[in-house]
Amino acid sequence: MKKINLILAFSLLSLNLTFAQEKPLRILMIGAHPDDCDIKAGGTAALFSKMGHEVKFLSVTNGDAGHMEMGGGILAKRRYAETQEVAKRLGIQYDVLDNHDGELLPTLEIRLEVIRKIREWGADVVISHRPNDYHPDHRYTGVLVQDAAFMVGVPNIAADTPPLRKNPIFLYYQDNFQKPNPFSPDVVIDITSVIDQKIAALDAHTSQFYEWLPWIGNETDVIPEGKEERITWLKSKRALAPNQAVKQALENWYGKEKASAVEFAEAFEICEYGSRPTQADLLRLFPMISNQKEQ
């Protein structure tokens, strides 16, 4: 009888371990505005979703200043509706905090909001902006996430939300800023297979990609009216080939032959705060790399 019970116990342990290994990853991507996550990591999000993992985008502001003709609550509602369409197109969840666009500061109140969101999602991976950026909202979002990185495990901070027992791995989105230090592509994801899905997600932000961003950028292009023409135009603007540093990192992860076939990629830099991942950790947390290596 004892032998049978022992066998049963080992069987249950094996099942539990298998379940733990197959448990979906939970990825939280945090942006300053309701399109930042989509621009920086929409392809990676699509790949995670296709593999059965859970992804949430979080915008720290409501985007209520990002337009040349409308603003305030009306614009915030329009942009929130756009995020929910993005969620459908990428197979993710999308949350928006009610902080004013263009007025973000790294306050304790907002830090606690971010801590709660990371805890509630039970994040394995958190990705956000670097704190050196042209836009103050981007910079301060980066600071807020950095400030939350250790605190997510401290029970007496935001004590109304249970702390995480394991600190997530924190990473930064790619940018082109060089001072005080340039972006380092520590993790690079081949998104060639989902580039059209990413562009479709960006297309949902009508207020931004066809109205506000061309206007504030003084683009002289005439924005197409037709749906397919707009997608083609948007892809020409937003689906760009990887730079030399990213190409080198692709070779490190995928091998030279695979890397040479990559048309589009998204890159991330490891933040020194939070858990410090090994290469094995990164392959586990970004399983699409291993899958593409094996093909």
pLDDT, residue 22, reads: 75
Q: Does the pTM of the predicted model rise above 0.85?
A: yes
Binning pLDDT at 50, 70 and 90, where does residue 158 land? very high
pLDDT, residue 279, reads: 95
Binning pLDDT at 50, 70 and 90, where does residue 64 land? very high
Ramachandran region, residue 278 (left: φ > 0; alpha: ψ -120 to 50; beta: rest): beta
Give yes or no for a contact between 174 and 267, defined as CB atoms under 8 angstroms apart: yes
Pairing of strands 125-128, 26-31: parallel
Question: What average pLDDT does the chain have?
Answer: 92
Q: Is the backbone peptide bond immediately before 155 cis, with ω within 30 degrees of 0?
A: no
pLDDT, tens only, 12-49: 444 443 444 479 999 999 999 999 999 999 999 999 99
CA distances for 176 relative to 129, 188, 202, 271, angstroms = 12, 15, 20, 17
Q: Which of 19-23, 40-44, 123-127, 223-227 has the lowest mean pLDDT?
A: 19-23
Give yes or no for a contact between 250 and 259, defined as CB atoms under 8 angstroms apart: yes
pLDDT, residue 5, reads: 47
Domains of the chain: 24-290 (3.40.50.10320)
pLDDT, residue 16, reads: 46
Q: Which of 111-115, 218-222, 226-230 has the lowest mean pLDDT?
A: 218-222
The DSSP string of 96-156 is: E----TT-----HHHHHHHHHHHHHHT-SEEEE--S--SSHHHHHHHHHHHHHHHHTT-TT
pLDDT, tens only, 229-284: 999 999 999 999 999 999 999 999 999 999 999 999 999 999 999 999 999 999 99
CA–centroid distance for 257 within its chain:
27
